[in-house]
Amino acid sequence: MRPLVEPPNMQEGQRIPRYLEKLGFGPRDVDIVFIGHLHFDHVGGLHDLPGCTVHVQADEVAAARTGPDGSVFADELANSNQWEIKTGEYLVAPGVHAISSPGHTAGHMSLFIELQKGPPVILCGDAADLRENLVEEIAPGYCWQDNASLALGSIRKLKALESREKCELWPNHDMDFFMSLPRFPAWRD
Ligand SMILES: [Zn+2]
């Protein structure tokens, strides 16, 4: 997303616990939340998940605390008692790998997920928020310290993983792509 955009008003039915209910779960069933980056549209629901462990990258926290990124909200940084600070790439859970993809933000991470059926998926996050970022190798609209080359390097890294691991890259703000997926509460195995 771009900086300094006002978040839309959220409806009660859009809160994370309401979505979990539809799957027969509650907030206490969630052990770990993986944060790809600290922009408000990626962390704004955390207070609905008390008691879980929140994985956040050290570089992301350090950069956010310097203050110039208008899409990181101070009250969300203040609520850090659930955070487990991580450094670099690691195994989040069996079959779930944290992939470093900086550029959109200083410590941006993507998520490589092995599935029971079909090819693995990489949730690109905002390293590639739209398909055109991947297909045409265009840096995201916002780059940390205007460092487009860092962001482009991450896009190329994700594409190299796609070809090496035979996985799918999912851009995470692309409405056309989103509409091509099964609609919640349906899912892909
Ligand atoms: Zn973002």
Q: Residue 43 Cα, ligand 1 centroid: separation in angstroms?
A: 10
pLDDT in tens, 31-48: 999 999 999 889 888 888
In the reported structure, the alpha carbon of residue 81 is separated from the centroid of ligand 1 by a whole-number distance in angstroms of: 22
**What is the 69 CA–ligand 1 centroid distance (Å)?**
10
When pLDDT is averaged across residues 158-186 and rounded to a whole number, the result is 94
At 132-167, the pLDDT tens digits run 999 999 999 899 999 999 999 999 999 999 999 999
In one-letter notation, the amino acid at residue 167 is: C
Six token digits for residue 186 = 């349906």
User: Domain spanning 12-181: which CATH class is it, in words?
Assistant: alpha beta
Domain ranges of the chain: 12-181
What letter would DSSP give residue 62? Answer: H
pLDDT of 4 above 60: no
Tokens of 118: 């079909």
What residues pack around ion ligand 1 (CB closer than 5 A)? 1, 39, 126
The rounded Cα 149 to chain-centroid distance in angstroms is 20
Distance 150 CA to ligand 1 centre (A): 15
Separation of 37 CA from ligand 1 center, angstroms? 7
Of 16-20, 78-82, 134-138, 155-159, minimum mean pLDDT range? 78-82
